Structure 1
Amino acid sequence: MANRDATALDDPVGASLRGHHAHHARRLGGAATYQPDVATFSAVTADPDPQEWADLARLLGRGELADMFSCASVPPPEWEPVFVLEGRQMTWSGGGRRPAETGTEVVELGRDSVPEMLDLVARAKPGPFWPRTRELGTYLGVRDHGTLVAMAGERLRPPGWTEISAVCTAPEARGRGHAARLVSALVARIVARDERPFIHVAEANTGAIALYERLGFETRKPVTFRGFRTP
């Protein structure tokens, strides 16, 4: 696996919207955001001026959520803070322990699986996931007697990198290694196309952090996730 320039991970939303996800982007000046129902993530340039924030507000509309992800820049005071969440960004280092084989089949989830995916997200609460989020990349799942009980997929795509996201398991199916198998399957797919996996996780989610470390992920840096309401 080739070495990757990790500087693209300092602005993963902006880098994705300028590149692999450009067809999902809405833009005005230096501001950009995803199309509705794909993602709420928005991006501005490294040193945004008031006009750039005004452009982003115009893109999103009045009273809408601007999920600034890990952007270090803070909007003008009239933007209402919605949430602040401490987390970390982790990158796959090429090692890790392979999950035990259990015979559980990992399947690819298509458009017809979206209602089930949204139901699983509502119960497992992995983070933001919308009706068209599946369009950002490949999503894999595990079924138990036909019912979707676990999933994970690809989200942000800065050059040379793919983020693994929406890792979740239904409460009644936890403790069976589904998350490890899904993340490992995605890692294999990402590496096979000569890209490198990365992931974001809330700092309070110590169980997930320990799992990702066992699978070969290392902490790159702490991040702070922020959301605001447009004026």
Structure 2
Amino acid sequence: MVGDPGNEPHGELSTPIWTALGTRQAHLGDADVLARRYQPDVAPFAAVADELPAAFEALHGLMRPGEVAAVLSREPVAVPPILRSTTLGAVHQMVADAHLEQAGFDADFLDLGDDDVDEMIALTQLTQPGPFVRRTHVMGRYIGIRDNGKLIAMAGERMRVPGYTEVSAVCVDPAWRGKGLAALLINVVRTDIERRGEIPFLHVFGGNHSAIALYERLGFRLSRIFMLNQITRADSTDATTGRPLHGN
């Protein structure tokens, strides 16, 4: 939803999806005056200008039957009958206010791109760090770690708001957890962001206490809490045709 950030700390992040799609990532989305969404093969995220029926009707017009849209709000949304909404839970937005290095497993990382998409999707399906589809990697730089040719860990950049870039898709193969790989990759991604003069931020489900603890150790602090709402069109033959949303 579009709101007045007022004097909120990091007010630019009060509507990250709406702002990203109206500025730095407009080329990756489809837009109406009252609604914006990423192209479905990039990300499921969408935003509306306000909670009035006309805005949700505009979002409906940007969606095809069977597609899933993920909308952040401060409260669960009430949608008109042409849409269905399911609240998936509370999402914590965290912003890096300190750069705290953390020693980790000594490993080389590599940049990931088009040729790695199938493996990236397989790793995110295994670990469920958040929605990741075939063109998510075009949102920013993604890096990974391989062992004997197999992709075992990755992280990257997702939403881009003026002055900020989101750290996302932090995931490690379960067989390789506990070795500091996530911390290593997060620090590489955030260092790149900070070198550009931007502030790193991220989103994580409030119930994922282990991930939140890691992010806090790396200098991320809670900025605000959203609700994550899964939106589908009511005329879909199956409201779960789009792969259900998951996340950190």
TM-score between the two structures when normalised by the length of structure 1: 0.92
Alignment of 1:139-154 (within 5 A): 139-154=142-157
Q: Which residue number in structure 2 is paired with residue 173 of structure 1?
A: 176
Change in Cα spacing, 1:150 to 1:66, as seen in structure 2 (3 Å) is same
Q: Which residue number in structure 2 is paired with residue 35 of structure 1?
A: 39
Would you say 1:13 and 2:14 are equivalent positions? no
Alignment of 1:112-123 (within 5 A): 112-123=115-126
How far off is 1:36 after superposition?
1.9
How far off is 1:170 after superposition?
0.7
1:162 maps to which of 150, 162, 165: 165
RMSD (Å) for aligned C-alpha atoms? 1.8
How far off is 1:71 after superposition?
5.8
Change in Cα spacing, 1:198 to 1:206, as seen in structure 2 (3 Å) is same
Alignment of 1:56-205 (within 5 A): 56-70=59-73, 72=75, 74-78=77-81, 79-96=83-100, 98-100=101-103, 102-205=105-208
Could you tell me the percent identity over the aligned residues?
39
Residue type at the aligned position of 1:117? M
Distance in 2, matches of 1:137 and 1:30, equals 26
State the aligned residue count.
Answer: 226
Residue type at the aligned position of 2:69? A
Where 1:155 maps in the other structure, the secondary structure is: strand
Residue type at the aligned position of 1:9? L
How far off is 1:64 after superposition?
2.8
Distance in 2, matches of 1:41 and 1:181, equals 27
Where 2:72 maps in the other structure, the secondary structure is: coil
Residue type at the aligned position of 1:214? R
Q: Is the 8 A contact 2:91 2:203 kept in 1?
A: yes
Q: Is the 8 A contact 2:95 2:222 kept in 1?
A: yes
Q: Is the 8 A contact 1:124 1:171 kept in 2?
A: yes
Q: Which residue number in structure 2 is paired with residue 44 of structure 1?
A: 48
How far off is 1:75 after superposition?
4.2
Residue type at the aligned position of 1:188? T
Residue type at the aligned position of 1:13? I
How far off is 1:91 after superposition?
0.4
How far off is 1:227 after superposition?
1.1
Q: Is the 8 A contact 1:53 1:75 kept in 2?
A: no
Q: Is the 8 A contact 2:37 2:44 kept in 1?
A: yes
Q: Is the 8 A contact 1:48 1:73 kept in 2?
A: no
Q: Is the 8 A contact 1:39 1:133 kept in 2?
A: yes
TM-score between the two structures when normalised by the length of structure 2: 0.86
Q: Is the 8 A contact 2:104 2:180 kept in 1?
A: no
Q: Is the 8 A contact 1:162 1:190 kept in 2?
A: yes
- Structure 2: tracts of 5 or more residues without a match: 1-7, 235-248
